[in-house]
C-alpha cells in the first residue's frame, strides 16, 4: 500500500509518495496556480498524482489515500475557511479532491500537519503529546494530544501564531488584528523589530551594513556577538517562551518542537525560548523539553501521509 502527502503553499505544492511503513519514495513540486480564486489547484494536484501513478505503474487500488496540508484554518471534516494566499473561499477541499481523483482525502492546516509529521518521523518521534510551532513568514502551530491532532470546532485549534501578546505597537496581522505572536516571532516580525531598533537608536551594529536585513542576518549577527542583534534574538525568545508557557498551562505537552525556516538558526532559538519558558511557566510544567524540527520543508508531506495512514 501507498499514501500521498501533499503540502499546499502560496507558491508551490509539494507532493510526496510514501510506503505504508512511512518511507518517502519520491517527492516533487508543482506550481500553485492562485489565479481565478485558486480554482485550478486541486485539479492540478490530481493530475500530477495520476501522472506519478502511471509513471511508477502503481494501480489506484494500491493507494490508501491522500493527506493534505493547507495554509489556513481547516475544520475536521476538511472544510477550509480562509486560505487567503490561495484565493480560496469556504468549501470542503477533502470532498472536492476526493471526487476528482477517486481516493480518500484528509485535509488539515499546514502547521497541524507539520506537527503530525514531526511526531511521526522527526523531532517529536517517540512522543505522543507535542506542541509544534512553525516560525516562517507567518507563525503556525499544531497540538497533538494522545497522538490525536486538535483541530478545534472552528478549525482554529493550534493557531498559536495568533495568540495576542500585545495589543498595540505592531502592524496589522494577516488575521486583521494587532499584537499577535506572529508579529514578533515570524521571520517578518524579527525583521520589523530589528529595523525599528536600528531606526530609533544610533547604536552601532553590523546590521547597519546590510541593505535589506533578514531574520537569518539577525541571528548570524547575534551569534557573532552583535549586541543589537542579540537584543532582538532575546526579545524573540521572550515572546515565544512566554506564549508557550501559557500553552503549557492548558495542554501540558511532553515536548515543544520548533520548526519553520527561522528555526534553521539552530539551538540559539531553542536555548533562548527555553530560558524564558522556564521563567514564565507554571511550576509543574517548567521542565517541558524543547527540540528543533528535523524534517525541514518535508514535514507537511510527512504529516499528510501520516494523517491518511492512520485514518
Task: Catalogue the E-assigned strands of 216-287.
Answer: 255-259
Give whichever of 230 and 301 is closer to ligand BMX, judged by the CB atom: 301
d(CA 31, CA 255): 34
Stretch touching ligand BMX by CB under 6 A, among 20-28, 42-50, 133-141, 296-304: 133-141
Stretch touching ligand BMX by CB under 6 A, among 11-19, 130-138, 143-151, 163-171: 130-138
Q: How far is CA 261 from the centre of its chain?
A: 9
Stretch touching ligand BMX by CB under 6 A, among 81-89, 207-215, 233-241, 294-302: 81-89
Total residues contacting Zn ion by CB under 5 A comes to 4
Residue 137: name its binding partner from Zn ion, ligand BMX, none (Cβ under 5 to 8 Å by kind): ligand BMX
Give whichever of 142 and 241 is closer to ligand BMX, judged by the CB atom: 142
Give whichever of 180 and 228 is closer to Zn ion, judged by the CB atom: 180
Contact by Cβ (8 Å): 261, 295:
no
Stretch touching Zn ion by CB under 5 A, among 68-76, 112-120, 122-130, 154-162: 154-162
Is 239 near Zn ion (CB under 5 A)? Answer: no
Contact by Cβ (8 Å): 91, 99:
no
Is 133 near ligand BMX (CB under 6 A)? Answer: no
Is 117 near ligand BMX (CB under 6 A)? Answer: no
**Strands of 24-31's sheet, edge to edge?**
24-31, 12-19, 2-8, 63-70, 105-109
Query: Residue 140's closest CA among 307, 308, 303?
Result: 303
Contact by Cβ (8 Å): 137, 191:
no
The torsion angles phi and psi of 81, rounded to 5 degrees, stand at -110, -40
Is 42 near ligand BMX (CB under 6 A)? Answer: no
Tell me which of 134, 205, 263, 273 binds ligand BMX, using CB under 6 A: 134
Length of the chain: 311
Tell me which of 137, 170, 205, 291 binds ligand BMX, using CB under 6 A: 137
Amino acid at each position: 500500500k501507498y499514501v500521498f502527502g501533499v503540502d499546499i503553499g502560496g507558491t508551490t505544492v509539494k507532493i510526496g509518495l510514501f510506503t505504508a511503513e512511512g518511507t518517502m519514495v519520491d517527492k516533487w513540486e508543482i506550481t500553485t496556480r492562485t489565479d481565478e480564486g485558486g480554482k485550478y489547484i486541486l485539479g492540478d494536484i490530481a493530475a500530477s498524482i495520476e501522472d506519478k501513478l502511471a509513471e511508477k505503474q502503481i494501480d489506484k487500488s494500491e493507494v490508501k489515500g491522500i493527506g493534505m496540508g493547507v495554509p489556513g484554518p481547516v475544520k475536521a471534516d476538511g472544510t477550509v475557511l480562509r486560505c487567503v494566499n490561495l484565493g480560496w473561499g469556504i468549501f470542503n477541499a477533502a470532498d472536492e479532491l476526493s471526487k476528482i481523483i477517486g481516493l480518500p482525502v484528509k485535509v488539515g492546516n499546514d502547521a497541524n500537519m507539520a506537527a503530525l509529521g514531526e511526531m511521526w518521523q522527526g523531532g517529536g518521534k517517540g512522543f505522543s503529546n507535542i506542541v509544534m510551532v512553525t516560525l516562517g513568514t507567518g507563525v503556525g502551530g499544531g497540538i497533538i494530544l494522545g497522538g490525536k491532532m486538535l483541530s478545534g470546532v472552528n478549525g482554529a485549534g493550534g493557531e498559536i501564531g495568533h495568540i495576542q501578546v500585545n495589543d498595540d505597537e505592531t502592524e496589522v496581522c494577516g488575521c486583521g488584528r494587532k499584537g499577535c505572536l506572529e508579529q514578533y516571532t515570524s521571520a517578518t516580525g524579527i525583521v520589523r523589530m530589528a529595523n525599528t531598533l536600528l531606526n530609533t537608536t544610533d547604536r552601532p551594529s553590523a546590521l547597519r551594513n546590510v541593505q535589506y536585513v533578514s531574520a537569518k542576518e539577525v541571528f548570524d549577527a547575534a551569534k557573532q556577538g552583535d549586541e543589537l542583534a542579540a537584543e532582538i534574538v532575546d526579545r524573540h525568545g521572550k515572546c515565544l517562551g512566554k506564549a508557550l508557557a501559557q500553552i503549557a498551562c492548558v495542554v501540558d505537552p511532553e515536548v515543544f518542537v520548533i520548526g519553520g525556516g527561522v528555526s534553521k538558526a539552530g539551538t540559539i532559538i531553542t536555548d533562548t525560548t527555553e530560558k524564558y519558558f522556564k521563567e514564565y511557566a507554571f511550576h509543574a510544567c517548567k521542565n517541558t523539553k524543547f527540540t528543533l524540527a528535523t524534517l525541514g520543508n518535508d514535514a507537511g508531506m510527512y504529516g499528510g501521509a501520516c494523517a491518511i495512514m492512520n485514518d
